[in-house]
Structure 1
Amino acid sequence: MQTSDFLAELSQLTMGFTPVVDPIYGAEVYRFLDLSTSNTIIDSVDTSSAEAIAVYIDTYLSKTGGKVAYGGYLEKRSIYDRSLYFGTQEIQLKRNIHLGIDIWCPSGTAVLAPVKGRVHSFKDNKNHGDYGPCIVLEHTIKGDSFYTLYGHLSRASISELEIGQEFNAGETIAYLGEPEENGDYAPHLHFQIIKDLQQNEGDYPGVSSLGNLSFYKENCPDPDILLKIESKVKG
């Protein structure tokens, strides 16, 4: 399926704001969070500390009257500098451009399937700064498969999961993990759409280098095409 056709079909799978975490959080309590290198306030935050990041996000939400922070698609971030997992410092090869959307809310929060799908794979990705427990769902549009990825989950979320297990739209598939199990991050969901999974299982790059960005930008479209947070929040 051509990219333009895929995006059009993808957009039609949801008709409005579609939560991917507990629906107790309505769109009115979502607040856009900028964690990019252009946000100079981040320079004063110890991004090597999950606790320091959590304090920064909680303070931001308190000041703005929000309950859930979101954002990050194609955001260039310095937060990945703390982990050797993201590799070289060479500009074209350094992986620091985020390919999904992050939903920041408390550990234990339910994670939902935004559209009907089946479990393709799951894995506990234990590298420092990695996803921790991660689930990949497979979906179909007119006979073609695409995938959604859910990272930074609790280990209990994958303890009894089965390959091929089906979930309807809005069903709980997992719960958010604590820093000690989610890759050492403040609790949040990394949600990503993937057109071609490239034979990965329970994993897929969630951060790109500048040199590979053109491929990943096409293969991993903006997750808001399904969640439609922006249109609801900014009205």
Structure 2
Amino acid sequence: MQTRDFSAELSKLTSGFTPIIDTTYKAEDYKFLDLSVTNPVLEGVDTSSAEAIQVYINTYLSKVGGTIAYGGYLEKRSIYDRSLYFSNTDEVLKRNIHLGLDIWCPQGTAVLVPVKGVVHSFKDNRNHGDYGPCIVLEHRLENLTFYTLYGHLTRSSLSNLSIGQMFEAGEILAHLGVPEENGDYAPHLHFQIIRDIQGNRGDYPGVSTLQNLDFYKKNCPDPQLLLKINTL
């Protein structure tokens, strides 16, 4: 299936705003957050600190009148420079282009399944700056097969899972972890759509190099195709 056709079919799976966290948060509670290298405000923020990022997000949400911050698909970010897991002196080979959508909200927030799927795999990715606890679901719907990834969870979210376990749309899959268990980030969900999981289990690259971006843009389409979060 061509990329354009795949994206169109994917978008048909949801008819409007589709919550991926606790449904007490409505579409109007979400505010777009720019964490890219082109945001001049971040020049005054210590992006190596989970605490500093959290303060910045809280201040931003207070200013714009929101409760949940979201964004990040294909953003080039500096926050990965702190981790040896991503660093490289060559700009073309540096992994700093984000492939998922981040939902910044309080630790312990429930993570929901947007469309029916089964547990493909899960793992606690403990590298500094990595996902921490991560779950991958497999979806076989109509003529589509694809995967969704949920990163930065609590370790307890993995304790009662089994491969092949079914989740219906809207069910609670997991909860968001604290920095000490989520890869050392301010609490948030990394949500990513993946066409070909390429043999990975409980993990998949969530940040790309400029060199590999064309491939990953095709293999990891915009999560907004499913979530349709208010962008106003």
Normalising by structure 2, what TM-score?
A: 0.98
- 1:196-215 Cα offsets, whole Å, 9 max, x none, are 00000000000000000000
1:17-39 per-residue CA deviation (whole Å, 9 max, x = no partner) reads: 00101111001110000000000
Question: In structure 2, what is the Cα distance between the partners aligned to 1:206 and 1:107?
Answer: 21
Instruction: Give the aligned partner of residue 215 of structure 1.
Output: 215
Which moved further from structure 2: 2-11 or 35-44?
A: 2-11
How many residues are paired up?
232
Q: Which residue is equivalent to 2:150?
A: 150
- CA distance in 2 between counterparts of 1:95 and 1:113 reads 28
Q: Distance in 2 between matches of 1:89 and 1:159?
A: 38
Aligned to 2:159: 159
User: Does residue 137 of the first structure (1) align with residue 133 of the second (2)?
Assistant: no
Conserved? CA contact 2:13–2:226, under 8 Å: yes
Match of 1:202, as an amino acid?
G
Measure, in 2, the Cα distance between the counterparts of 1:143 and 1:7: 12
TM-score, normalised with respect to structure 1: 0.97
Residues 136-191 of structure 1: per-residue CA shift (max 9 Å, x gap): 00001335420000000000000111111100001000000000000000000000
Q: For the structure 1 residues 144 and 27, does the alpha-carbon distance in structure 2 shift closer, same or farther, using more than 3 Å as the test? A: closer
- Cα distance in 2 between the residues matched to 1:153 and 1:32: 22
**Contact 1:28–1:233 (8 Å) recurs in 2:** no
Q: In the alignment, is residue 173 of structure 1 matched against residue 173 of structure 2?
A: yes
Secondary structure of the residue aligned to 1:85 is coil
Q: Is the 8 A contact 1:27 1:233 kept in 2?
A: no
Distance 2:2 2:38 in 1: 34
- Cα shift at 1:132: 0.2
Q: Secondary structure at the match of 2:130?
A: coil
Percent identity of paired positions between Structure 1 and Structure 2? 72
Alignment correspondent of 2:93:
93
Q: Is 1:121 matched with 2:104? A: no
| Counterpart-to-counterpart distance in 2, 1:136 and 1:218 | 19
In the alignment, which residue of structure 1 is the partner of 2:189? 189
Structure 1 residue 8: deviation in Å?
Answer: 1.3
- Secondary structure of residue in 1 paired with 2:85: helix
Which secondary structure state, in structure 2, belongs to the residue aligned with residue 52 of structure 1?
helix
**Match in the other structure for 1:4:** 4
Displacement of 1:104 after TM fit? Answer: 0.2
Q: What's the counterpart of residue 111 of structure 1?
A: 111
Distance 1:7 1:38 in 2: 28
Cα distance in 2 for residues equivalent to 1:213 and 1:98: 10
Q: Would you identify which runs of 4 or more consecutive aligned residues in structure 1 move more than 4 Å?
A: none
Distance 2:114 2:60 in 1: 27
Task: Work out the CA distance in 2 between the residues paired with 1:218 and 1:89.
Answer: 26
How far, CA to CA, are the matches of 1:5 and 1:141 in structure 2?
A: 15
Instruction: Extract unaligned runs of 5+ from structure 2.
Output: none
